[in-house]
Amino acid sequence: MFKSATWRSERKIKAVFKMQFQATQVPRLKAKTLAISLVPADVGRPSVRLGKSSIREGTCSWESPVYETVKLVKETKTGKFRGKIYHFIVSAGSSKAGLLGEASIDFVDFLEATYPVMVSLPIEATNSGAILHVTIQKLERTLDERYIEENESPTTNYHNGILEMQLLDSENSQKTNLEFTEGEQPNRITSQYPEQNGSVEDTRFDDASAYRVCLTTADNTLERVSLDADPPGHVYQRYSDGLLKDTSDESVIDTTTSLQEKYARDRIQEASNDVGRLNTRIKMLERQGEVSELELQSLRRQMAKESRKVKELSEQIVALKSERDILKKECEQLKSSPKGINQEEISNNSGTETKNVSEISEQIKQQLHREKHLSKKLRSQLQKTEDSNSELILAVRDLKEVLSRKDKEIAHLAGQIQANQNEVTLELEETHEEHNKADEVELLKQERANLFAEMEISRKEKEELKKCIQQFTLDNENLKKEKAAVYSDLEQKQGAMMEIQHEYLLSTRTVKQLKEETKNQAILYSEYLTIIDELKTKVQSLEEELEKEAKYFQDNLTAEGRAMVEQEQRAIQAEEALTKANWSNTKETEHLREELKRKSEELISKIDENEKLTAQAVAEGNQLRMHSKFLEKLLQKANDEIQLSKNEYERKLLDLSKGIHLEAQSMGMVSQRVDGAKANDVKANNREDGRLKHEKSAHSQARYEIGTMINDKEQRKREYGDSKMLQKWTEQKEELERELLLVKMEAEKLIEENITLRNLIDEKSKRDEILHPEVEKLVIQYHKSKCSSQEMKLENRDLKKHVSKLQETKPVKDVVMCDKTPEEGMHSLGMLKSNESEIAKSQRDQISSQRELNLGNHHANHIADLAEFSSEVTFLKELNKHMALELKEMQERYSEMSLKFAEVEGERQQLVMTLRNLKNGKKT
């Protein structure tokens, strides 16, 4: 149920070290601050991280000290401590780039360093040359933890060992741990109680934490108070403060107040130690309660298992009852049938059934014996849990009494402390007036503050103890309720076990009856053997049909093999065609390369000539630009004059429209004046028309000159366009070269794909050669399995028919026997004797046929194997189909490759045509 813990015979010590850091010769960095992290070598994770400190003139100092508790293991054989190495990692940030370096140190070398010791360590992993100065001091408070190896023992010693622990007296308050007594042998420990302050590697030590009783809480609280009271300062400040305290104590020892304060401090330390012991005792009780809870959970699981077993047994009993009822019905049916079979054969047939029944009965007996044994174990475990709970209750009562005593002592101490405080204040005033020692007053004030803090801590711990006691009482009540429920479940199960035993006795009686009935049941099996001879003829006909089907299947396989061979031949032919095409392509590509080289040389020479022509054309173009600018200026002037004439003409038209409008109004009155005005207007218009015609002729001449200039420009542009054509030809040449490279790449890809296709075809042909004989074997086995299955089906049908016939003939025989006279009865007796002899012969034949049936059963098992072979045959057929599909896909790919190759050839021909056109254009 519970695993035993492994305790080691070794000693572990917790040592507290005070450290203060300072880095010198720090190089110039981008960051202006540094941080330190302490990493134990065995853990690999930082346990303490110091905050960032600023760098000033190559030095970086951390004012706040670091307090690290280190676990040191002392070997019993050698008496030496194992090494405990820590790495001090100095970095300017969280990233790897900000890492300055690291230094390492072993704390075993500083176990005797009660005074501050400075160590200078070079920072490794970089060439910075920085040095880390560490001041180390071991504090006087150390914690021992001993582990005793476990001797295997029953679970009863577990609770006795815990309760044999005793509270230490106030004189032994400086001891830091409690050891188990000789009778203590912890047994069942689980890994649910690991030590909170342990390392990652100490997993075996975690399992033993449930039985470790160390009075560390009081020491830890005092240590924390003292550590918090230390102000941050220089490396040697704590040491100097200690010396000042010693001197101040020597000066105050002469007074009575110092003695009272020391006495009060000792009493407070004793009280805190007692509280720590009580805390450890409470923790042990809590762990004991948790172990008892685990035991209850295991008991519940066992109860659930037993209930399942009871259900299974009840189901078996129900099944046996149903079988008994079925056998009774069969016996009643067989009683009406004739009883003329030899008892020897019946005993041989029924022997197997009796063996099965006896085996079932033995299994049931074994299960009952196991359940009785388990019930005894459960009772013993319940008694143990009751004893442990009673011991827990007594321990809780003792704790309550101890707490009440400690409360009284704390109240008495508080009164004494208040009186001492009043006296101390008076004496301090006197000493201040006499000696003017401000330092001593400050020290006394600090001690008073520490005493108040310790009082508050003790009060808080007392309240926590009260809460723990209340929780223990509630847990005990819950455990009592659970025990009552477990007792009730056990009683119910005992009643169920008695019922099962009673039913078992009844089942044994029914088994005896069934043995007698099985003897009568063997008669029916003898009648079924007469049908086997009739089935043999049918089997022969079926075998002939199967042979025909096998021949047909073989013919199909040969046809498929021929088709595969034809496909392979086609693939080989296609590969040969591809090789020829590739060879021709390589020749044509070489020819194209030579032509391209020639054309490139010709193009280079022409490009040089065109460059010279372009230089001349550029000079002429500049002259034409100057002339065109002059003409543009003339055009602008002409356009301006035309616009002015148009504006004047429009103004005149407006005036005319206004005059026409006025004349239309006064048409009848001034008709003579209008005729005169019209004549004047006609003359003026004629003059203007002549002037406009003269301007148009001037414009036409200017346009003619501009047209000539434009034609000259177009001719020069054409000449300049020839150079652009050369550039285009060079670009086309580069594009053609790129396309040729692409064609080469595609041809190489086609060759690689052809190689892969060949490999696949070879692999498939090898697979077909390997699978063909296996397929033939599986086909033969499949046909055989079909034959045997059909034979068995026919045998079952004939047996059913024969049984129905026998059931019809039985009542007829009974009627005939009743209707006959005594003489006829004698005659019938003779007939019956003869029939009995014939039946005996038939029975012998039936025995031989039964043997054949057994062989048939063996054959049926072989049929199952054949079914598996048939499934494999179907799988192979599917594989062949899949291979055929893959071949089709390969053919499709080959066709696609041929199409791609045709496209490539078309592109190549187009390139050749373009090159020829370029040559012809150059020649012209």
DSSP string, 419-459: HHHHHHHHHHHHHHHHH--HHHHHHHHHHHHHHHHHHHHHH
SS (H, E, C) 570-629: HHHHHHHHHHHHHHHHHHHHHHHHHHHHHHHHHHHHHHHHHHHHHHHHHHHHHHHHHHHH
pLDDT score of 81 more than 80: yes
Confidence of residue 826 (pLDDT cuts 50, 70, 90): very low
Q: Is 779 helix (H, G, I), strand (E, B) or coil?
A: helix
Residue 734 belongs to some domain of the structure: no
pLDDT score of 123 more than 90: no
Instruction: Identify the pLDDT of residue 605.
Output: 72
Neighbouring-strand partners of residue 273 = none
Instruction: Identify the pLDDT of residue 866.
Output: 55
pLDDT score of 424 more than 80: no
Q: Tell me the C-alpha to C-alpha distance, in Å, between residue 444 and each of 160, 463, 660.
A: 48, 29, 129
**Burial of 490 per CB tally in 10 Å (0-12, 13-18, 19+):** middle
234-254 tens-digit pLDDT: 333 333 343 333 333 433 334
Confidence of residue 184 (pLDDT cuts 50, 70, 90): very low
Residue 277 belongs to some domain of the structure: no
365/107 Cα distance (integer angstroms): 66
pLDDT score of 685 more than 50: yes
Residue range of the domain that includes 100: 10-235
Q: Which residue has the higher pLDDT, 32 or 895?
A: 32
Mean pLDDT over the full length of the chain:
66
Q: What percent of the chain has pLDDT over 70?
A: 49
Lowest mean pLDDT among 417-421, 653-657, 686-690: 686-690
Instruction: Identify the pLDDT of residue 445.
Output: 72
Residue 248 belongs to some domain of the structure: no
907/846 Cα distance (integer angstroms): 89
pLDDT score of 865 more than 60: no
| Tokens found for residue 43 | 């853990």
Q: What percent of the chain has pLDDT over 90?
A: 2
Q: How many CB atoms lie within 10 A of CB 848?
A: 11
Instruction: Identify the pLDDT of residue 234.
Output: 35
Pair 830, 838: CB distance under 8 Å: no
**Where are the strands (E) in 47-156, listed by range?**
48-49, 53-54, 60-61, 66-74, 85-91, 99-106, 117-122, 131-147
**Burial of 885 per CB tally in 10 Å (0-12, 13-18, 19+):** exposed
| Largest Cα–Cα separation, the chain | 182
SS (H, E, C) 305-342: HHHHHHHHHHHHHHHHHHHHHHHHHHHHHHHCCCCCCC
Confidence of residue 657 (pLDDT cuts 50, 70, 90): low
785/866 Cα distance (integer angstroms): 6
CATH number, domain with residue 94: 2.60.40.150
Q: Which residue has the higher pLDDT, 548 or 22?
A: 22
Lowest mean pLDDT among 331-335, 351-355, 407-411, 783-787: 351-355
Residue 825 belongs to some domain of the structure: no
Residue 50 belongs to some domain of the structure: yes
Query: Which ranges constitute the DSSP H helices of 93-186?
Result: 156-163
Confidence of residue 13 (pLDDT cuts 50, 70, 90): confident
Residue 684 belongs to some domain of the structure: no
Average pLDDT over residues 662-678: 58
Average pLDDT over residues 870-890: 69
567-606 tens-digit pLDDT: 778 778 877 877 787 787 777 777 777 877 777 677 677 7
340/834 Cα distance (integer angstroms): 13
Confidence of residue 21 (pLDDT cuts 50, 70, 90): very high
Lowest mean pLDDT among 17-31, 296-310, 335-349, 454-468: 335-349
760/835 Cα distance (integer angstroms): 75
Residue 82 belongs to some domain of the structure: yes
| Tokens found for residue 321 | 């009852």
239/289 Cα distance (integer angstroms): 46
Lowest mean pLDDT among 603-612, 648-657, 686-695, 871-880: 686-695
Instruction: Identify the pLDDT of residue 559.
Output: 81
DSSP 168: P
Task: Please report where in the chains the tokens 């000159």 appear, as a residue.
Answer: 705
90-113 tens-digit pLDDT: 888 665 667 888 899 998 888 887
Q: Which residue has the higher pLDDT, 55 or 270?
A: 55
Lowest mean pLDDT among 49-58, 654-663, 669-678: 669-678
**Is the pTM here over 0.85, yes or no?**
no
314-336 tens-digit pLDDT: 777 777 777 777 777 777 776 66
User: Domain count of the chain?
Assistant: 1
Confidence of residue 32 (pLDDT cuts 50, 70, 90): confident
Residue 871 belongs to some domain of the structure: no
Instruction: Identify the pLDDT of residue 133.
Output: 92
Q: What angle do CA 315, 321, 326 make, to 5 degrees?
A: 130
Q: Most confidently modeled of 128-142, 186-200, 208-222, 396-410?
A: 128-142
733/599 Cα distance (integer angstroms): 9
Q: Which residue has the higher pLDDT, 9 or 739?
A: 739
464/218 Cα distance (integer angstroms): 14
Query: What Rg value do the Cα atoms of the chain yield, rounded?
Result: 59
